[in-house]
Amino acid sequence: MATSKLLVSTLRKSLNSPSPSSSFRRFSTAAAEAVAPASEPEDSLNIKGVKISARPLYLDMQSASPVDPRVLDAMLPYYLARYGNPHSRTHLYGWESDQAVETARSQVADLIGASPKEIVFTSGATESNNISVKGVMKFYKEKKKHVVTTQTEHKCVLDSCRHLQQEGFDVTYLPVGNDGIVDLEKLKGSIRRDTGLVSELNVSFHTDAAQALGKIPIDVDKWNAAKDKGGAPNEWGGQERGIRSGTVPTPLVVGMGAACELAKKEMDYDDKRIRALQERLLNGVRAKLDGVVVNGSVERRYAGNLNLSFAYVEGESLLMGLKDVAVSSGSACTSASLEPSYVLRALGVDEDMAHISIRFGIGRFTTEEEIDRATELTVQQVEKLREMSPLYEMAKEGIDIKQIQWAQH
């Protein structure tokens, strides 16, 4: 631990030293504690053709989030001194890494109310979803041929379901309401005798909890799920009880365990604080702008995710105009597509409004100053774009734009 603290201290000192090429500022969570020189350089950053005066403030926490320094402290010894392979059974280095992995496994299990034996470490959420969805159905393929999912699932889950369809399985894609919530009566009505993947008696259950872990309470024992029926085919190598082969990366697993332990201790505090920041952002924007729509349920949502649509504004122009705020229009896995968010379309959002949605992601290290600055910049950019919008002028004059018959030339 002393070694890790010394390294972190040295790193911070070097990053805090003024440098001609440094362009950090004390405003962004992206720079965390390793921040800024006294004055910014005159030359702006030019990344992918976009000129940026300095590092933007960061409000894209659903795509990626900064590592908690306490988690980094837990990880560093396994990069610098305790670097043994956890699957090496013949010496101290392997033993201590194996012990660290099992401790992390217990920390993750403790957060979600599971047994350590039920925790399988993978490379990430996409792999986990593929193993779960495909693995369960292939395990039950002789008796179960039907999957129930929703139209708003993550792309990797939907892609896994389409893959199963190509192999002869039947998939039901349930619609959701305007608030994004599934009608439980429709869910019950969709379950058949040969359904293999939903939460119901004699049917296995799967949920993509990547965005929920550590943010809202999870207790898998209350899901009545068949957690001991992972069902994935065995792989060569044998690690993770044959479900997921490959050397377990000890530092990353240790970091996961430390993050889960912190989340259990601080979840209530984080939730209250993040909820207050979300309300501050939403109220600040609505106080200055009309035509602002919250996509999804206002009450039944994770407070750190605020998805807003701004009427009479072109979405790409708004995103480009907000270059001093790191936000997105949706999942990073689909951000390369020019199509409107399929999740918003499933919620019944009009295509034009789905094209102009912005997702603000708030996290543990987001500050009130950042929220206020993001509000200010968002309002400025929306007002600027609306000044150039004839549609906004027509709307202010009371013209119902949806009733206009546009002539084609």
Positions marked active-site: 333
For residue 304, give the DSSP letter. Answer: T
At residue 148, φ and ψ (nearest 5 deg) are -115, 125
> Could you give the CA distance from residue 230 to residue 138 in angstroms, rounded to a whole number?
11
Which of 374, 189, 354 lies closest to 281 in space, CA to CA? 374
51: helix, strand or coil: strand
**β partners of residue 171:** 147
Q: How far apart are the first and last CA of the chain?
A: 71
Contact between residue 256 and residue 108 where contact means Cβ atoms under 8 Å apart: yes
CA distance 237 to 247: 9
Specify which residues 146 forms β-bridges with. Answer: 170, 195
Whole-angstrom distance, CA of residue 259 vs CA of residue 164: 34
Phi, psi of 84 (to 5 degrees): -70, 155
Sign of the Cα torsion 62, 66, 68, 74 reads positive
Tokens standing for residue 145 = 């041929």
